[in-house]
C-alpha cells in the first residue's frame, strides 16, 4: 500500500517559489497498476522521485507499507530503495556493461553472491524475452530491447513496487504495446504494484486499473480508468481522453472546430459506451425509433481497457429539436453516455 | 671535427655513443611511465574530490572544493621549467637528491596531476546523470556510484586524457633533463647542444617522436577497446 498524504513540494528559484506538487493525496493498493497522467511539468516525475526518496517532500507524508519515506536516510533509505524498481524513458542503462551485467547491477549493489546474481539475471533475461542477447552491449540493442533490459534490471531485487517513468515515451507504437504487455504480464505473475507515469492516455487505457490526472502539481481527477474515460470531469482529462480517441482514428484527427465546420447542421453528439452495450444494436435502434431524424456517423473508436471494451462514437443528428432530445433521452435510458459536442 | 654546423652534421652517426643513447632512452621511458602512474592515481583522486564536492551543500564540501580547486589551479599555471626549480628542495627532502631521473619525479607529478584532475572532473560531469540517478535509486552508496558508474562509464575518456597527459609528460621529462634529471633531454642538451653534436640531437628527436607515437597508438587502442557506446 502506497499512500501520498497532503504531499506538497516547493522549489525556490530566482523568480520566487515554484510549487511542483501541490497537496496530493493518492492511495495505491498492492498489486494494482496505477497510472498518473499529465502533460510535462505537471509534477508527475517529482512525485515519483519523492516516492523513491530521491527528493523529500516540503510538507506531507509518503508512506509505503507503513514506512514514512521522508523519515528514512542513510542505509535504511538505500535498503528501502532496493524494494522499488524503476524504469525510465531513456532506459538509463550502463553502456559499459553487457545485458547480463546491467541486469545483475542491482544485485551487486545489494551484495548478492556472484553465482546467485548470474542465476537470477539469467532468469530475468528469459522473463523479458532476451535470451541469447546476454552478452550484447546496450548499443547493440533496439529501443524496445533496451527497455526490456531496463525492466529486467528493475526486477532484479524482487521489488514490491515498479515505477515506470515515461518508460514507453521514446518508443514507437508497436514497441510501446509490447512493453506494456510485458508490464501487464509481470503485474499478474509477480503481483507487483506498478506505478505508470505517462503523458500517453493509450498506455493508461491499456494497462491501468486506476488513474490520477495531474495538472500544475495537483491531482485534478482520479478514479478507475473506466470511469475517468467515460465521464471525464476536468478539461485536462477531457483533452487526454479525446486525444486518445482521436489518435485511434488515425486519418481523421480533426479538431472540434473543423468537425463543426464540416457538419454545420443539427447536433454533434458523442456517445460513450462500454462492455455489454457495445454489443447491443443501439444505433440501429435509435434510427428505427426516430425515423424522422437523419443520423450520420462521423467517427468512432474502441479501446480495450482492463475492465473491458470502451467505445466512442461521434454522430450527427439532423432533424426536429424535440425529436433529438427524445433520442438522447432514449440513449440515456440505455445507459449510453452522451455528450453534445455542438449544438446548432 | 669538420661538419659541426652544416646539414651534414646531422648524419655523423659514428659520433653517437649508442650505449649512452640507450640508457638515456630508458631513463626517459621509466621517468615518464612512473610519473604517469602516479599522475593517473592522484589525478583521479583529485578529480573525484572536485566532482563530489562541487554541487554538494554544506560549507565543509565548499571549503574542500575551494582549497583543492585553488591548489589545482596554482600548480596548473606554473610553467614547468619554473616549477622544477621551485620544487628542488622538496625533491631533495623526498628522494634525497636533486640530480637524476628520481629527482624529477616529484615535480613531474605535481605539474601533471592537477592538469589531469581537471580533465577527470569534466569527464565525470559528462557521465549521464540519468544513469547515476538510476543506480542511486537501486540503493547504491556514493562509493557504489563511483566504482560502478563514474569510473567504468568514463573509462575511455579517462584513458584518452591519460594519453594526452603522458605525451605532455614526455615533453616535461626533456625539460627536466636539461637541468640535470637525465634522460634524452639531458643527453641532447649536453651532447647535442653544448658539444655541437647535431647527430645526437637528431637521434634523440627521432626516439622521442617514436615514443610519443607509441604512447598515442597504445592509448587509442585502449580507448577503442573500452568504448562500447558504438560498435
Q: Rounded mean pLDDT of A306-330?
A: 82
Distance CA A34, CA A210 (A): 5
**Residue A48 vs residue A33, higher pLDDT:** A33
CB contacts of A106 in chain B (<8 Å) are 138-139
pLDDT in tens, B166-211: 999 999 999 888 888 888 988 888 888 888 888 889 999 999 999 9
Q: pLDDT higher for A250 or A13? A: A13
Q: Do B139 and A110 touch (CB under 8 A)?
A: yes
What is the C-alpha end-to-end distance of chain A, expressed in Å? 50
How far is A334 from A207, CA to CA, in rounded Å?
28
- Indicate yes or no: CB of B135 within 8 angstroms of CB of A78: no
- How far apart CA B32 and CA B29 sit, in angstroms, is 5
Binary contact (A96, B144; C-beta < 8 A): no
Nearest C-alpha of chain A: how many angstroms from B213? 27
pLDDT band at A73 (very low <50, low <70, confident <90, very high): confident
Cell numbers describing residue B87: 620544487
Of A78, A84, A94, the CB nearest to B149: A94
Bigger pLDDT: B10 or B29? Answer: B29
User: Is residue A110 less than 8 Å (CB to CB) from chain B?
Assistant: yes
Beta bridge partners of A338: A271
Comparing C-alpha atoms, which of B122, B194, B186 is closest to residue B158?
Answer: B122
Mean pLDDT across the stretch B121-140? 93
Distance (Å, whole) CA A134 – CA A138: 10
Question: What's the pLDDT tens digit per position in A127-180?
Answer: 999 999 999 999 999 999 999 999 999 999 999 999 999 998 888 888 999 999
The pLDDT, as a whole number, for residue A32 is 93
| Helix or strand holding residue B207 (H, E) | helix B198-226
Q: Which of residues 155-194 of B touch A (CB under 8 A)?
A: 155
- Kindly report each contact of residues B191-199 with a partner whose C-beta sits within 8 Å and lies 24 or more positions away, as own/partner: B191/B17, B191/B20, B196/B4, B196/B5, B196/B9, B197/B12, B197/B15, B197/B16, B198/B4, B198/B9, B198/B10, B198/B12, B199/B9, B199/B10, B199/B11, B199/B12, B199/B13, B199/B15, B199/B16
Nearest residue to B204 (alpha-carbon basis) of B190, B225, B219, B222: B190
> Are B136 and A109 a contacting pair at CB < 8 A?
no
- Where residue B4 falls among pLDDT bands split at 50, 70, 90? low
Residues of B in contact with A86 (CB under 8 A): 134, 137
Is the CB of residue A208 less than 8 Å away from at least one CB of chain B? no
Cα separation, A2 vs A28, in Å, equals 5
Tell me the per-residue pLDDT of A300-317, one tens digit each, with 9 for 90 and over. 777 777 777 777 788 888
Which residue of chain B comes nearest to A165, CA vs CA?
A: B134
Which of A109, A137, A138 has the CB atom closest to B139's CB atom? A109
Q: Is A3 on the interface with B (CB under 8 A)?
A: no
CB contact under 8 A, A95 and B153: yes
In chain A, the percentage of residues whose pLDDT exceeds 70 is 94
What's the pLDDT band for B1 if we cut at 50, 70, 90?
very low
- Are B228 and A105 a contacting pair at CB < 8 A? no
Is pLDDT larger for residue B202 or for residue A13?
B202
Strand A294-305, strand A84-88: pairing: unpaired
Residues 64-103 of chain A whose Cβ lies under 8 A from any Cβ of chain B: 77-82, 84, 86, 88, 90, 92-97
Angle at alpha carbon of residue A79, lines to A74 and A85, rounded to 5°? 125
Question: Is B164's pLDDT higher than 90?
Answer: yes
Least confident of A9-13, A58-62, A82-86: A9-13
Question: In angstroms, rounded to a whole number, what is the distance separating the alpha carbons of residues A152 and B137?
Answer: 15
* Separation of alpha carbons B151 and B144, rounded Å: 10
List the single residue in B139, B153, B231 with the smallest CB-CB distance to A96. B153
Asked whether the beta carbons of residue B231 and residue A52 sit closer than 8 angstroms, the reply is no
pLDDT score at B150 = 96
d(CA A29, CA A194): 10
Residue A257: per-residue pLDDT: 65
Tell me how close the Cα of A280 comes to any Cα of chain B, in angstroms.
49
Check CB contact of A169 with chain B, cutoff 8 Å: no
> pLDDT for A80-111, tens place per residue?
888 899 999 999 999 999 999 999 999 999 99
Q: What pLDDT, on the 0 to 100 scale, is given for residue A247? A: 46
DSSP A279: T
pLDDT tens digits for range A222-259: 988 888 887 788 888 888 887 776 544 444 445 566 66
Task: Output the CA–CA distances (angstroms, integers) from residue B154 to A95, B124, B151, B228, in the order listed.
Answer: 10, 7, 5, 11
Chain A positions in Cβ-Cβ contact with residue B137 (cut-off 8 Å): 52, 54, 81, 84, 86
What pLDDT band is residue A116 in, cutting at 50, 70 and 90?
very high
- A52 neighbourhood in chain B, CB within 8 Å: 137
ipTM, interface predicted TM-score of the complex: 0.85
Q: Is A12 part of the contact surface with chain B (CB cutoff 8 Å)?
A: no
C-alpha cell at A301: 473508436
> A77: which chain B residues are within 8 Å (Cβ-Cβ)?
139
**Alpha carbon of A202: minimum distance to chain B alpha carbons (Å):** 25
Are A49 and A85 in contact by the 8 Å Cβ rule? The answer is no
B230 in contact with chain A, both atoms CB, cutoff 8 A? yes
Q: With an 8 Å Cβ cutoff, are B229 and A95 in contact?
A: yes
Exposed, middle or buried by CB within 10 Å (0-12, 13-18, 19+), for A121? buried
- What Rg do the C-alpha atoms of chain A give, in angstroms? 23
Q: How far is CA A115 from the centre of its chain?
A: 37
Classify B172 as helix, strand or coil. helix
Cell triple for A153: 534490471
Q: In the sheet where A161-165 sits, what is the strand order? A: A84-88, A161-165, A193-198, A33-37, A210-215, A218-224
Nearest CB partner across the interface for B231, out of A86, A88, A140: A140
3-state secondary structure of A225: helix
**From the CA of A277, how many Å to the nearest CA of chain B?**
45
Q: How far apart are CA B24 and CA B14, in angstroms?
A: 18
Residues A272-295, mean pLDDT to the nearest whole number: 80
Mean pLDDT of the residues in chain A: 86
Amino acid at each position: 500500500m502506497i499512500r501520498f498524504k497532503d504531499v506538497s513540494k516547493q522549489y525556490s528559484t530566482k523568480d520566487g517559489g515554484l510549487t511542483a506538487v501541490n497537496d496530493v493525496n493518492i492511495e495505491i493498493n498492492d498489486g494494482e497498476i496505477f497510472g498518473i497522467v499529465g502533460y510535462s511539468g505537471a509534477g508527475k516525475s517529482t512525485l515519483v522521485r519523492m516516492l523513491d526518496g530521491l527528493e523529500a517532500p516540503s510538507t506531507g507524508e509518503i508512506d509505503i507499507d507503513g514506512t514514512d519515506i521522508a523519515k528514512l536516510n542513510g542505509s535504511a533509505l538505500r535498503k528501502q530503495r532496493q524494494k522499488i524498481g524503476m524504469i525510465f524513458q531513456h532506459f538509463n542503462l550502463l553502456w559499459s556493461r553487457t545485458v547480463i551485467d546491467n541486469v545483475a547491477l542491482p544485485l551487486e549493489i545489494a551484495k548478492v553472491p556472484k553465482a546467485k546474481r548470474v542465476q537470477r539475471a539469467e532468469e530475468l533475461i528469459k522473463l523479458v524475452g532476451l535470451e541469447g542477447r546476454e552478452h550484447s552491449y546496450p548499443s547493440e540493442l533496439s529501443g524496445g530491447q533496451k527497455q526490456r533490459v531496463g525492466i529486467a534490471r528493475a526486477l532484479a531485487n524482487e521489488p514490491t513496487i515498479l515505477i515506470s517513468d515515461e518508460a514507453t515515451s521514446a518508443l514507437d507504437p508497436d514497441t510501446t504495446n509490447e512493453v506494456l504487455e510485458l508490464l501487464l504480464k509481470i503485474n499478474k505473475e509477480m503481483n507487483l504494484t506498478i506505478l505508470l507515469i505517462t503523458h500517453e492516455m493509450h498506455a493508461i487505457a491499456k494497462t491501468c486499473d486506476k488513474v490520477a490526472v495531474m495538472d500544475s502539481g495537483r491531482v485534478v481527477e482520479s478514479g478507475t480508468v473506466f470511469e475517468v474515460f467515460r465521464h471525464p470531469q476536468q478539461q485536462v482529462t477531457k483533452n487526454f481522453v479525446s486525444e486518445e480517441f482521436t489518435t485511434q482514428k488515425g486519418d481523421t484527427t480533426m479538431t472540434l472546430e473543423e468537425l463543426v465546420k464540416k457538419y454545420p447542421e443539427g447536433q454533434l453528439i458523442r456517445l460513450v459506451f462500454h462492455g455489454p452495450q457495445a454489443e447491443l444494436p443501439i444505433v440501429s435502434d435509435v434510427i428505427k425509433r426516430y425515423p424522422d431524424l437523419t443520423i450520420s456517423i462521423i467517427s468512432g473508436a474502441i479501446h480495450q481497457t482492463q475492465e473491458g471494451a470502451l467505445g466512442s462514437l461521434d454522430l450527427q443528428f439532423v432533424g426536429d429539436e424535440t425529436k433529438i432530445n427524445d433520442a438522447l433521452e432514449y440513449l440515456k435510458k440505455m445507459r449510453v453516455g452522451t455528450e453534445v459536442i455542438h449544438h446548432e | 671535427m669538420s661538419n659541426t654546423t652544416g646539414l651534414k652534421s646531422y648524419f655523423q652517426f659514428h659520433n653517437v655513443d649508442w650505449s649512452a643513447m640507450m640508457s638515456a632512452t630508458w631513463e626517459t621511458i621509466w621517468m615518464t611511465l612512473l610519473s604517469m602512474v602516479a599522475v593517473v592515481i592522484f589525478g583521479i583522486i583529485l578529480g573525484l574530490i572536485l566532482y563530489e564536492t562541487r554541487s554538494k551543500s554544506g560549507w565543509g564540501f565548499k571549503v574542500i572544493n575551494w582549497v583543492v580547486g585553488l591548489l589545482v589551479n596554482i600548480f596548473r599555471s606554473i610553467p614547468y621549467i619554473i616549477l622544477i626549480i621551485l620544487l628542488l628542495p622538496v625533491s631533495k627532502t623526498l628522494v634525497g637528491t636533486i640530480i637524476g631521473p628520481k629527482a624529477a619525479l616529484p615535480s613531474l607529478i605535481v605539474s601533471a596531476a592537477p592538469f589531469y584532475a581537471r580533465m577527470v572532473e569534466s569527464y565525470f560531469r559528462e557521465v549521464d546523470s540519468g544513469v547515476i540517478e538510476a543506480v542511486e535509486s537501486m540503493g547504491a552508496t556514493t562509493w557504489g556510484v563511483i566504482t560502478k558508474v563514474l569510473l567504468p562509464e568514463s573509462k575511455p575518456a579517462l584513458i584518452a586524457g591519460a594519453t594526452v597527459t603522458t605525451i605532455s609528460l614526455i615533453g616535461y621529462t626533456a625539460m627536466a633533463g636539461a637541468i640535470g634529471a637525465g634522460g634524452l633531454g639531458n643527453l641532447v642538451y649536453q651532447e647535442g647542444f653544448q658539444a655541437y653534436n647535431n647527430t645526437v640531437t637528431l637521434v634523440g628527436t627521432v626516439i622521442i617522436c617514436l615514443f610519443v607515437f607509441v604512447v598515442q597508438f597504445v592509448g587509442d587502442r585502449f580507448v577503442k577497446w573500452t568504448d562500447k557506446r558504438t560498435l
